[in-house]
Amino acid sequence: MSRDAQRRRLVAESLGVGNPGNNARDLPIQADPRQDCQIELKVEDIRAYEHNPRRANNAKFAEIKESIRSSGIRNPLTVTRRPGEEHFIVEAGGNTRLLAIQQLWAETGDPRFRKLTAMFRPWRSESHVLTAHLIENEQRGEMTFWDKASGVVALKARLEAEKGRTLSVRQLEEEMKGLGLSVNTATLAHYLFATERLRTLGEAVADLSGLDVKTMQPRLNLMKRYAQTRASLAEADLYVTVFEPVFRQVVDQYRQSQAFSVSGVCRACEEALARQLGEPVAQVRTALDALTRPPQASSETSPARADANRPVQSVAMAPTTVGNPSRSGSVVSTANAGTLDSGRQVQTGRALPSNDGNSGVLSRLIERVRFLAGLAGIGECLRPHAAAPLGYYMDALPVAADGDSISPGREQAWWLLALLAGQLGHSPSVAVPEGSAEGGPGTAHKAGRALGNPPSPFAFDAAFFGWLVNAHDETASAFWNVLALVRESRASVLRCRTLDEPMPAGAADA
């Protein structure tokens, strides 16, 4: 057979071969891309992320909707899809834009709103999507404290489910950092406490802040310690029987007035605890204050009451000097501190306003001061004192036995609080119970003798000013909260003077 004849035969035989079999039934309904890419989707095929930590609706929804109506979505949504599901979900922010365009499509039927171009990212994990939404919402500043706390605790549960083990706070910090979300362990601990113990408040009070929680937690913990000591009341029972009814009452009042006071919550809890224990509320509060002091600062006979007959000493401070030429910039410095004079007070300059009739503001002020001192690591130096102009004074900074220096942050916080307390410069000395640190500011008292030197004066330089105006620094923010209450306290006193008696000369600038 010739070569041409053989070729014609092979061609004829090939024409008789049937079509290949259909194996499509063995493939997924829709195989997603394995890399990031742009895809076009119908708006009804995309759903909002159902675990979005931000609960409140976007206040600018109407504005966003009108912008999409006129110009479309300028920033493409990012979507992903869980394995085995047909619909897509928003992967990192964009729930508001999705809702707006879906409403426009339903309302107008305009083909412009039927489809959209989105950035598709392959599915990774539930924890990854939740983290992406937390980061997106945080960057936009659209989350309340409670939203962040609830979102982080939900992320903890997701991570533990995926890893099959419980995570400590430190391990959670590391896992979140690996996902691109940086939250320190102290903040994580506050989130966990809030979601476990303050859920009734958090879910209803939009004004609840991180500072509120940090103020409440130590006071509630003191009440827990006192309840365990006095009545062997377990923490879970304390919250269920004593604190939760208070929280529910606070929520009811908040819904009517939209006003929330963290000091009011603490006082109400103290009153409820006193009723539970059958004790006067003043006795409970005095005992709680005693628990905040080191053992040597409390009376030997009773943790709740100081000996009224115990002799007192007074601390006299040298005047403040501003503009010491020995350092760069303006500084605050003092001469060697005055001696402790038993049985008398040394008066210097004009007095700060009295705290008579101003107890409500001062109570809140002490709470803020206590919180600031705790943040700065000088809580052991704070001494509540009813006779002091602002209800407290600062005891000496402790000095390490090996002579290590005190951190600048602690020194700055000590100086600021001491200045506000009226211990430095133009104010009277404060009568201090015997046993306080000797030698004035910055000396530590141990075994009846003075140790160390006053803390170094801090410079009012660019570094200090930068810290003071840093909105992300918790210690600086806490100081401004204290300062605001100091101003409120003085304004309250001046109002009382105006109403009750002629104002003494010079009181307006006190």
Q: What is the pLDDT of residues 87-141, one digit of tens each?
A: 999 998 788 899 999 999 999 999 999 999 999 999 999 999 999 989 888 877 6
- pLDDT at residue number 352: 42
Q: Are 324 and 457 in contact (CB under 8 A)?
A: yes
Q: Are 255 and 200 in contact (CB under 8 A)?
A: no
As a whole number of angstroms, the distance between CA 138 and CA 223 comes to 34
From first to last of the 510 residues of the chain, give the pLDDT tens digit.
666 666 667 656 655 555 444 443 333 445 688 888 999 999 999 999 988 888 777 778 888 889 999 888 888 899 999 998 999 999 987 888 999 999 999 999 999 999 999 999 999 999 999 999 898 888 776 688 999 999 999 999 999 999 999 999 999 999 999 988 888 888 999 999 999 999 999 999 988 999 999 999 999 999 999 998 888 888 999 999 999 999 999 999 999 999 999 999 999 999 999 999 999 999 998 888 887 765 444 444 443 344 333 333 333 333 333 333 333 333 333 333 333 333 333 333 334 444 444 566 777 788 888 888 877 778 778 888 777 778 888 887 765 444 444 455 677 788 888 888 877 654 334 444 444 443 343 333 333 323 334 455 556 667 777 777 777 677 778 888 888 888 877 766 555 554 444 444 443 333
- pLDDT at residue number 453: 42
The tokens of 213 are what?
């929680």
As a whole number of angstroms, the distance between CA 255 and CA 258 comes to 6
- The DSSP call for residue 243 is I
- pLDDT at residue number 252: 95
- pLDDT at residue number 250: 95
Phi, psi (deg, nearest 5) at residue 258: 60, 25
- pLDDT at residue number 468: 79
- The DSSP call for residue 300 is S
- pLDDT at residue number 10: 66
β-strands 320-322, 444-446: how paired? unpaired
300 forms bridges with which residues in the sheet?
none
Q: Are 33 and 120 in contact (CB under 8 A)?
A: yes
- pLDDT at residue number 291: 79
- pLDDT at residue number 251: 95
- pLDDT at residue number 434: 46
The reported pTM is 0.53
Q: Which domains does the chain have, with CATH numbers?
A: 37-128 (3.90.1530.10), 198-310 (no CATH), 313-500 (no CATH)
As a whole number of angstroms, the distance between CA 390 and CA 215 comes to 18
In three-state form (DSSP H/G/I as H, E/B as E, the rest C), the secondary structure along 416-478 is HHHHHHCCCCCCCCEEEECCCCCCCCCCEEECCEEECCCCCCCEECHHHHHHHCCCCCHHHHH
- pLDDT at residue number 429: 41
